[in-house]
Chain A
Amino acid sequence: MNGQQMHPNLRKVIENIERVIVGKRKEAILSLTALLAEGHVLIEDVPGVGKTMLVKTLAKSVNATFKRIQFTPDLLPSDVLGVSIYNQKEMEFEFRPGPIMGNIILADEINRTSPKTQSALLEGMEEGNVTVDGYTYNLPKPFFVMATQNPIEYEGTYPLPEAQLDRFLLKMKMGYPTIDEEMEVLTRAHENSTVEKIEPVITVNELIELQEEAKKVFIDETVREYIINIATQTRNHHQLYLGVSPRGSIALMKAAKAYAFLNGRDFVLPDDIQFLAPYILSHRILLRSEAKYEGVTEEEIIFSILTHVKVPIQRFVKR
């Protein structure tokens, strides 16, 4: 972004990621935005485009514990949350925490597992704690889930219900690299430049502080109104079956604050909203079937709404 310097520590995180993954700066920024906004990310893409690498590098850069859960059709909720085992020596049940008890979790191929197991993870994401055998265990802070899912057309998947999708702050795609980028990927793979080589740039505590600071970013009434106008447009859109819920508006605002903070600003611009809206809103709306047949995507609709809703350029704009 012009004119402003990215937050120095966070810039280092992005640079770290770039050192490992080629040409995924935007995705890195989005992930970091979600992390700062205490939200979770859903990456929808085919395997092998660098999802795991991204999360690993991110976790390493912020010096957070990294856990990975590979979702399979036979995975049980206890495999995610943990289980209480009777300790014969101590004569009592002892809780063995599951892989969810980490700072940064990669939930790989989340749509391959049964809804039961899915919801175990999603509830943890929402509540910030898990309940096993009547005991409630707080999840560590920061808690950041990066879930990946195969595109739903693939066979053997359990698509996530809309209510569950809402739990993710943003949804993004990794996408294939360009030819040049892929050449660079091959070169790096050849030279054995991997995640292990990078160094942490901030501590977990620093990250928590940054999260707190990001909440203090100023968002003007006009910009809030802009968010509401966008959300209202999705609710009235003729190609949409379901528009963005107020929770979606809140998500957009939170993400925008984190994004502004990431960019070294202490106030939100409509530019932030425009940049984030496709990632934050597209998985919160449902297309009408006619629109689906016409091949319209959710992103396209969000983009068209963005070109129509007036950007506030004056205080006290008449409604």
Chain B
Amino acid sequence: MVIRKKSLEIFILYTISFLLIWEWLKPLKEIANISNVNVFIFFLLLTFSYYFFNVPIFIRFIANSIYILAVINFLYFQGSFLSGEGIRLFIYSLVTNMKYIFQRDWLAITDSFQTLLFFILLWLLVYLLNYWITVKMRMLYFLLFTILFLAIVDTFFPYNAKYAMIRTFILGFFALGILNYYRLVEKNQLVISMNLKKKWMFILGSVLIFSTTLGIVVPKANPIWPDPVPFIQSYADHHFNTGGGNRIKKVGYGEDDSRLGGPFIQDDTSVFIVNSPEPQYWRVETKDLYTGKGWEKSEEENRALTSFNDSIEMNIARNEFFSEEEQLANVEYVDEVDHIIYPYGIYKLYVSVTDSQFSNGTYEKDDSYDKLYWTDVVPYKYYTSYHPPSYEINQLRNLSKYDLNVTNSFYDRYTQLPDSLPERVKELAIQLTEKEDNRFDKAKAIERYLQSYEFTYDTENVAVPGEDEDYVDQFLFETKTGYCDNFSTSMVVMLRSIGIPARWVKGYTPGEKIGEIDEEYDRYVIKNRNAHSWVEAYLPNIGWVPFEPTKGFENPTDFYYDISQTETEIPENQTAEDPQAPNMNEQDLNQEVEMENEGSQDEQKKESISFSKLLDEYKHHLIGTLIGTSIIIALMYVFRRKWIPYWLIFKYQKDLDHASFARAYMSLLKQLKRFGFAKEDGETLRNFAKRVDKFFNGDDMVQLTLAYERILYRGEEKSEVWNDLREPWIRILKRTK
């Protein structure tokens, strides 16, 4: 044993071990409802000090036993040990608990017995740590397990192990460094000198301080994986129907949008399960008043009771842009939310009473903001029939050239902008759109700009506008980093600034496909993280057309080119007298509106941060890294003769025994071969060595060979073989580079 008892180092090591075990005990308070952690900590302290002061084993045993009994007595038997009654009870509980153990009736084991077992466990742990430190001089596994434990506790329990983790790392590495020093001393039979120890400790300390400082200073990468807990919980809820009501809600669909900005945490809790034939955007409501910080509603809601039997008139686009084919989707609530999501082109909403019969009940529809409300209870599941929209692009272009033909109040409401909006937003919008001659292309130009490489999608490093800053201005000109709210609000504001009526739409993306019901219907799960916002622009003669400015997202709404159609007639009913319902006339279906172009829509299943998107975004980085790595590897291979000697010298600076010499000798042969000295098959080592030495004008190789011959052909196992041969070996290696 190299480590002296009672030395300063052993004291440090014991202290670190004690602190590390303490890290194990700290979370217990929160995860296991153990209130008296202190008695265990004191027990640890006691046990470590026995080891440090080298207390004889029987005293140790007796003292620890007394302490354990005293604690159990104090906690569970309220001091009745002194009267003797407690001891009888204790022994009785021991016997019964042993019985429980043999019956494997784990839950019946009493608290006092569990405490006893826990003390014994700690005792064992201290014993083991002492063994690891003083005999094995290794602690890595203990450290690894501590970190693993903390990581698990941090992930699955409310306990925040952030600082515990940092403490563990610093302490652990310090302990590893000290232990490594002693291991080296022992292995190489070095004489412990104060000087060497000081140097080692100095370097160890500096490295630790440096790396810790660096760790604190450098920017932290975001987690690569989303927090797994909500997913696990929602999965469990879904499958075991526990309903769980007391979960901490994270970010998802929110009602209040008056102050946008700031980071949010991705929440993987499922909200809806949807069966529908196509992936589509799910609308919830729209907002119209931009305040410079967020969105509010400019007027009172205008709710009206609607029966399930009534067809719904949503003021989106003229009916001719919705396909004649009626489709049906059903939505199941998974999480506790009450808003209704509906597809573009919603026609009817049902709630089924039984499998075959639909309820005759009612729900409320708010005409001002296109929002639906349940009148009384939130059903478990509802159905919606709809006519999916589809837009022919040339038609959109042509129609959107005409005058708006809207009432002043409509125009004012949807081109409202705060006075505080900086002029440069408008300037940018004009600059982006000046080449386009129709509103659709202008809108597309803005959409394209926001989707471009200038902007970055990010949910965490997102700024909140300051008191005198505008939310859109900050995003467009300063941060250029944000999520859907930033993109969509910016587009709405830019559209409004150039006189195109626009509004802000909230809802959900199609979610994630989780299966197929049959040939027609697919099953999607919509999670909190799928909550989304996008843009609708009002185009004359058409109505509200959705746009998707958020980088990395794509609206699955069908936009297509009809090649056969060059000039689109303006429908007779040109003017939208009633801006609330510009698409009233149900009979006025334009026959030219084509049915959906299936192909373009099939693969448009977009997930916010899907892997393929990520891959796409970093494609160039990836390819660059790959090429770079390959080039480096190729260069390293080509110039291996140059660097391998140094690597070999480094590799064989320790581990000095005859076997390592044999390996080093073989490596030398290989290096000589790379140098151009290949040993012939039938050439003996000795002859080869003479040839090499003749070339290098020395006798190093023969010296090495004579030693190697004794190892190989004589089976000699002298570890001191290296002593005289290290230098000749290095000399030849260096000559071959």
Q: Mark B666-685, 1 if CB is under 8 A from A, else 0.
A: 10010000000001111111
A268 interfacial by beta-carbon distance below 8 Å: yes
Docked complex: B681-737 residues within 8 A CB-CB of A: 681-687, 690, 702, 706, 709-710, 712-715
Which of the residues A271, A308, A314 comes within 8 Å of B687, measured between beta carbons?
A: A271
A307 interfacial by beta-carbon distance below 8 Å: yes
Contact B681 A218 (CB under 8 A): no
Please name the residue on chain B nearest to A223 by beta carbon. Answer: B713
Known: A2-B702, A3-B706. A315 touches B687 (CB 8 A): no
Contact B706 A218 (CB under 8 A): no
Known: A267-B713, A314-B712, A315-B712. A308 touches B682 (CB 8 A): yes
Please name the residue on chain A nearest to B665 by beta carbon. Answer: A313
**Nearest CB of chain A from residue B122's CB, rounded to whole Å:** 49
Contact B666 A220 (CB under 8 A): no
B421 interfacial by beta-carbon distance below 8 Å: no
B393 interfacial by beta-carbon distance below 8 Å: no
User: A270 to B680, alpha carbons, bound, how many Å?
Assistant: 14
Contact A271 B684 (CB under 8 A): yes
A222 interfacial by beta-carbon distance below 8 Å: yes
Which residues of chain B are near A220, meaning CB under 8 Å?
712-715
**Nearest CB of chain A from residue B723's CB, rounded to whole Å:** 18
User: A122 to B175, alpha carbons, bound, how many Å?
Assistant: 79
Contact B690 A311 (CB under 8 A): no
Contact A308 B702 (CB under 8 A): no
A310 interfacial by beta-carbon distance below 8 Å: yes
Known: A2-B690, A3-B702, A271-B687. A222 touches B712 (CB 8 A): yes
Please name the residue on chain B nearest to A305 by beta carbon. Answer: B682
Contact B715 A218 (CB under 8 A): yes
A250 interfacial by beta-carbon distance below 8 Å: no
Which residues of chain A are near B680, meaning CB under 8 Å?
307
A269 interfacial by beta-carbon distance below 8 Å: yes
Q: Mark A46-84, 1 if CB is under 8 A from B, else 0.
A: 000000000000000000000000000000000000000
Known: A266-B714, A313-B669, A314-B712. A307 touches B686 (CB 8 A): no
Which residues of chain B are near A276, meaning CB under 8 Å?
none
Contact A222 B713 (CB under 8 A): yes
Docked complex: B183-201 residues within 8 A CB-CB of A: none
User: A120 to B713, alpha carbons, bound, how many Å?
Assistant: 40
User: A222 to B687, alpha carbons, bound, how many Å?
Assistant: 18
Contact B681 A268 (CB under 8 A): no
Number of interface residues of A (CB under 8 A): 23
**Nearest CB of chain B from residue A302's CB, rounded to whole Å:** 11
Contact B713 A313 (CB under 8 A): no
B260 interfacial by beta-carbon distance below 8 Å: no
Number of interface residues of B (CB under 8 A): 21
A274 interfacial by beta-carbon distance below 8 Å: yes
Interface of A is mostly: loop
Q: Mark A194-225, 1 if CB is under 8 A from B, else 0.
A: 00000000000000000000000010101100
Please name the residue on chain A nearest to B693 by beta carbon. Answer: A2
Contact A307 B713 (CB under 8 A): no
Contact B686 A271 (CB under 8 A): yes
A97 interfacial by beta-carbon distance below 8 Å: no
Which residues of chain B are near A309, meaning CB under 8 Å?
681-682
Which residues of chain A are near B666, meaning CB under 8 Å?
313-314
Contact B713 A268 (CB under 8 A): yes
Which of the residues B684, B702, B714 comes within 8 Å of A311, measured between beta carbons?
A: B684
Which residues of chain A are near B681, meaning CB under 8 Å?
307-311
Which residues of chain A are near B69, meaning CB under 8 Å?
none
A312 interfacial by beta-carbon distance below 8 Å: yes
Which residues of chain B are near A312, meaning CB under 8 Å?
712
**Nearest CB of chain A from residue B426's CB, rounded to whole Å:** 79
Contact B712 A274 (CB under 8 A): no
Docked complex: A264-305 residues within 8 A CB-CB of B: 266-271, 274
A165 interfacial by beta-carbon distance below 8 Å: no
User: A64 to B133, alpha carbons, bound, how many Å?
Assistant: 71
User: A274 to B702, alpha carbons, bound, how many Å?
Assistant: 18
Which residues of chain B are near A271, meaning CB under 8 Å?
684, 686-687
Docked complex: B632-691 residues within 8 A CB-CB of A: 662, 666, 669, 679-687, 690
| A-B contact sample (15 more), CB < 8 A, given A218-B713, A307-B680, A314-B662 | A218-B714, A218-B715, A220-B712, A220-B715, A222-B713, A267-B713, A271-B684, A271-B687, A274-B684, A309-B681, A310-B681, A310-B682, A311-B681, A313-B679, A314-B666
Closest 6 CB pairs of A and B: A307-B682, A267-B714, A271-B684, A310-B681, A220-B713, A270-B684
Question: Which residue numbers of B lie inside 8 Å of A, CB to CB?
Answer: 662, 666, 669, 679-687, 690, 702, 706, 709-710, 712-715
17 CB-based A-B contacts, threshold 8 Å: A3-B702, A218-B715, A220-B714, A220-B715, A269-B686, A270-B685, A271-B686, A307-B680, A307-B682, A308-B681, A309-B681, A311-B681, A311-B683, A311-B684, A311-B685, A313-B685, A314-B662
